[in-house]
Amino acid sequence: MFVPTVDKNKCEGCGECVEVCPVEVLELEDEKAVVVNEEECLGCESCIEVCEQEAITVEET
């Protein structure tokens, strides 16, 4: 299982992570990315790769 986390202090709300996620784990709320379907995370780290602010981490549990 993978656990994605978004640092709201770093997130600028560009939405690239939301667009690139193949299983819709992230959504934009109040101009920030938030994790809404954590259990669907594949651990592909596509969101990490597109985040220029380094606001996303994915940990394996």
Summarize pLDDT for 42-52 with one digit per residue, the tens: 999 999 999 99
35 vs 39: CA distance, rounded Å: 10
Question: In the chain, what are the domain boundaries?
Answer: 2-60
Q: Please give the pLDDT value at position 34.
A: 98
- Look at domain 2-60 and name its CATH class: alpha beta
Length of the chain: 61
pTM: 0.93
17 vs 47: CA distance, rounded Å: 4
Q: Please give the pLDDT value at position 19.
A: 98
Residue 61 neighbours by CB distance under 10 Å: 5
Q: Please give the pLDDT value at position 59.
A: 97
β pairing state of 32-35 and 56-60: unpaired
**Through-space distance between the first and last CA atoms of the chain, rounded to whole angstroms:** 6
In the predicted model, residues of the chain with pLDDT beneath 50 are none
